[in-house]
Amino acid sequence: MAGAPKVLAVDDNQEGLFALEQVLQKHGFSTLTASNGQEALKCLESEFPDVILLDVNMPGIDGFEVTKRIKSDPWLRYIPILLLTAKDTSEAVVEGLEKGADDFVRKPFESEELIARVRAALRTRKLYLELEQSRRVTAELQQRLGQSATFGNIIGQSSAMKEVYALLEKIKDSDVPVLISGESGTGKELVASALHFNGPRHAKSFVQQNCSAFNDQLLESELFGHVRGAFTGAIKDKPGLFEVADGGTFFLDEVGEMSPALQVKLLRVLQDGTFIPVGATKPKRVSVRIIAATHRNLREMVKGGTFREDLFYRLNVVNVKLPALRERRSDIPLLADFFLQTIAERTGKPVKSLSPDTLRALNSHDWPGNVRELQNEVERLNLMAGPETLITATHVSEHVQSASNESPVSSPSGSLKEAVERLERSMISAALARSEGNKSLAAKELGISRSNLINKVKEYGLS
Ligand SMILES: Nc1ncnc2c1ncn2[C@@H]1O[C@H](COP(=O)(O)OP(=O)(O)OP(=O)(O)O)[C@@H](O)[C@H]1O
Ligand SMILES: [Mg+2]
């Protein structure tokens, strides 16, 4: 509030209004006046007083109605309203407070009391404003967090993962089928469950089935159910997993392993939500969101004739491609810390940390098994370190270690030319990993031109 607090006084009685103005000004407030409800609302279109003193009984729009309108306006509702009521009307006080007024003053008023109540109202207003301010800050923070930094409990701040979060954010509330692709251990299952639990179906079932787990006949009955007598051993009706998933989400893992016959049945579920249990004649209908995952290249399988093209297009409405861990090395320390934290919580022991040379070793490994391999390595490191809280590189597994040992600096051998090439190759590939493939950044870091870098990348087959 810059300068004197501003009070809007509203009264249809000219003498009363004048008296209010006098008292307020005498106590250092600046004043605005209105002689009826209409005028008051008009005034609020251009003025923003700190407190409103409002007579209840006025012709036209009375004080209650003015209160109601102000309190339902998102912009004006933080201005405290003090109602001016005749001495013996407690119903008016009750009604006024219910309409949202903040306090009241009886007429004829005592100057001292009036001023004391106006000051109290100013304190309330300050609190309102502070609350509003912190609410805005919280909302902003939440929005920023929700936008890109993370999704569910997925760890990773690399630009590749931020792109994934942005896509998940866009599709989480819809029912479109999603195909998640990525190498083994990149988090396909984690993403599928995060999509379910952050979407509108989260209160219903999340059912998953790995399509490579059973033979064809078993998988069919598992997915779609069967009726009694459908095959030897089918001694009673059994509902399939699609029925269990009704209303929820079905995660079909390794969908590339499905036989052509089952692919047809799945296509039908995707087309109209219906399927026929094994041995039955009547179709059943379900509402299921389908998320499929594969580490295979389904497009190639379509070309090779082992995966139905129509099914591929139905499943692939949205494709979430999970990057390999070696394509987002900046997430390795984050993930390692996260796993150490999880282990500490599980075991109730203090959280361990990684020495710089351990981190260096983890950073230079290629992680063909991706996050799962890293998770296993961290579990192992945690065990090997025993009671020590600092994990050192001596504990790193041999196969992980070997990559960093191949460092051309630590084991120079062969001709000078070869050694220099090895060093060049390894520095370029490390710089590219750090810049997440951004060639301009990597070139800058290495102190060479971008075109020089591009030539070397080609020469060493690094792209
Ligand atoms: N971004 C991540 N943040 C935290 N944990 C992760 C992340 N990605 C994967 N994990 C963990 O790594 C392990 C492997 O992930 P998940 O099972 O989801 O991979 P996948 O792609 O389904 O693997 P596969 O192809 O072998 O089935 C799980 O324990 C999972 O919780
Ligand atoms: Mg999986």
C-alpha 187 to ligand 1 mean position (Å): 3
C-alpha 189 to ligand 2 mean position (Å): 5
Pairing of strands 284-285, 274-275: antiparallel
Alpha-carbon distance 368 to 192, whole Å? Answer: 21
pLDDT tens per residue, range 227-278: 998 888 888 999 999 999 999 999 999 999 999 999 999 999 999 999 999 9
C-alpha 456 to ligand 2 mean position (Å): 36
> Is the minimum distance from the CB of 380 to ligand 1 under 6 angstroms?
no
Q: Residue 397's beta-bridge partner residues? A: none
> Is the minimum distance from the CB of 328 to ligand 1 under 6 angstroms?
no
Query: Which residue's C-alpha comes closest to atom 7 of ligand 1?
Result: 187
- pLDDT tens-digit profile, the chain (463 residues): 458 999 999 999 999 999 999 999 999 999 999 999 999 999 998 888 999 999 999 999 999 999 999 998 877 888 999 999 876 678 888 888 888 999 999 988 899 999 999 999 999 888 877 777 777 666 666 555 554 467 888 999 888 999 999 999 999 999 999 999 999 999 999 999 999 999 999 999 999 999 998 888 899 999 999 999 888 888 899 999 999 999 999 999 999 999 999 999 999 999 999 999 999 999 999 999 999 999 899 999 999 999 999 999 999 999 999 999 999 998 999 999 999 999 999 999 999 999 888 988 998 899 999 999 999 999 999 999 999 999 998 999 988 887 554 454 545 566 777 778 878 888 888 888 877 788 888 888 788 888 888 888 888 777 6
Counting from 1 in the atom list of ligand 1, the atom nearest the Cα of 253 is 27
Is-same-fold flag (159-323; 326-405)?
no
Determine the residue of 189, 211, 338, 340 to mutate for testing ligand 1's pocket, defined as the one with the most ligand atoms within 8 A of the Cβ atom.
Answer: 189
> Is the minimum distance from the CB of 227 to ligand 1 under 6 angstroms?
no
CATH architecture of structural domain 416-459: Orthogonal Bundle (1.10)
Query: In sequence order, which residues have a C-beta less than 8 Å from that of residue 419 and are 6 or more positions away?
Result: 408, 412, 413
Q: Which CATH number fits domain 326-405: 2.160.10.10, 1.10.10.10, 1.10.8.60, 1.10.3720.10?
A: 1.10.8.60
Alpha-carbon distance 276 to 339, whole Å? Answer: 44
> Is the minimum distance from the CB of 186 to ligand 1 under 6 angstroms?
yes
Determine the residue of 252, 372, 375 to mutate for testing ligand 1's pocket, defined as the one with the most ligand atoms within 8 A of the Cβ atom.
Answer: 372
- Is the pTM above the cut of 0.85? no
> Is the minimum distance from the CB of 182 to ligand 1 under 6 angstroms?
yes
Task: Describe the crossing of helices 37-46 and 63-71 by its angle, rounded to 10 degrees.
Answer: 30
pLDDT tens per residue, range 7-60: 999 999 999 999 999 999 999 999 999 999 999 999 998 888 999 999 999 999
Look up residue 70 and give its amino acid.
Answer: I
Alpha-carbon distance 285 to 297, whole Å? Answer: 30
> Is the minimum distance from the CB of 189 to ligand 1 under 6 angstroms?
yes
Query: In sequence order, which residues have a C-beta less than 8 Å from that of residue 257 and are 6 or more positions away?
Result: 211, 212
Query: Which residue's C-alpha comes closest to atom 16 of ligand 1?
Result: 187
Phi and psi, residue 72, nearest 5°: -100, 5
pLDDT for position 463: 66
C-alpha 341 to ligand 2 mean position (Å): 23
Counting from 1 in the atom list of ligand 1, the atom nearest the Cα of 331 is 1
Please name the fold of domain 6-133. Rossmann fold (3.40.50)
Which among 431, 425, 411 is positioned nearest to 363, based on CA atoms? 431
Q: Is the peptide bond before 356 cis (omega within 30 degrees of 0)?
A: no
Q: Which residue shows structure tokens 């099914």?
A: 311
C-alpha 420 to ligand 2 mean position (Å): 41
Cβ atoms 311, 259 nearer than 8 A: no
31: left (phi over 0), alpha (psi -120 to 50) or beta: beta
* Ligand showing the shortest atom-to-Cα distance for residue 332: 1
Counting from 1 in the atom list of ligand 1, the atom nearest the Cα of 295 is 25
> Is the minimum distance from the CB of 160 to ligand 1 under 6 angstroms?
no
Structural tokens at position 105: 């003053």
Alpha-carbon distance 310 to 307, whole Å? Answer: 9
Counting from 1 in the atom list of ligand 1, the atom nearest the Cα of 210 is 27
C-alpha 159 to ligand 2 mean position (Å): 23
SS (H, E, C) the chain: CCCCCEEEEECCCHHHHHHHHHHHHHCCCEEEEECCHHHHHHHHHHCCCCEEEEECCCCCCCHHHHHHHHHCCCCCCCCCEEEEEECCCHHHHHHHHHCCCCEEEEECCCHHHHHHHHHHHHHHHHHHHHHHHHHHHHHHHHHHHHHHHCCCCCCCCCHHHHHHHHHHHHHCCCCCCEEEECCCCCCHHHHHHHHHHCCCCCCCCEEEEECCCCCHHHHHHHHHEECCCCCCCCCCCEECHHHHCCCCEEEEECHHHCCHHHHHHHHHHHHHCEECCECCCCCEECCCEEEEEECCCHHHHHHCCCCCHHHHHHHCCEEEECCCHHHCHHHHHHHHHHHHHHHHHHHCCCCCEECHHHHHHHHHCCCCCHHHHHHHHHHHHHHHCCCCCEECHHHCCHHHHHHHHCCCCCCCCCCHHHHHHHHHHHHHHHHHHHCCCCHHHHHHHHCCCHHHHHHHHHHCCCC
> Is the minimum distance from the CB of 375 to ligand 1 under 6 angstroms?
yes
What's the chain's Rg over C-alpha atoms? 35
Query: Which residue's C-alpha comes closest to atom 18 of ligand 1?
Result: 187
> Is the minimum distance from the CB of 371 to ligand 1 under 6 angstroms?
yes
Q: Which CATH number fits domain 159-323: 3.40.50.300, 3.30.1490.100, 1.10.630.10, 3.20.20.70?
A: 3.40.50.300
Alpha-carbon distance 160 to 323, whole Å? Answer: 7
Determine the residue of 186, 320, 326 to mutate for testing ligand 1's pocket, defined as the one with the most ligand atoms within 8 A of the Cβ atom.
Answer: 186
C-alpha 254 to ligand 2 mean position (Å): 8
Query: In sequence order, which residues have a C-beta less than 8 Å from that of residue 246 and are 6 or more positions away?
Result: 204, 205, 286, 287, 288
Alpha-carbon distance 456 to 440, whole Å? Answer: 13
- What are the residue boundaries of the structural domains of the chain, listed by start? 6-133, 159-323, 326-405, 416-459
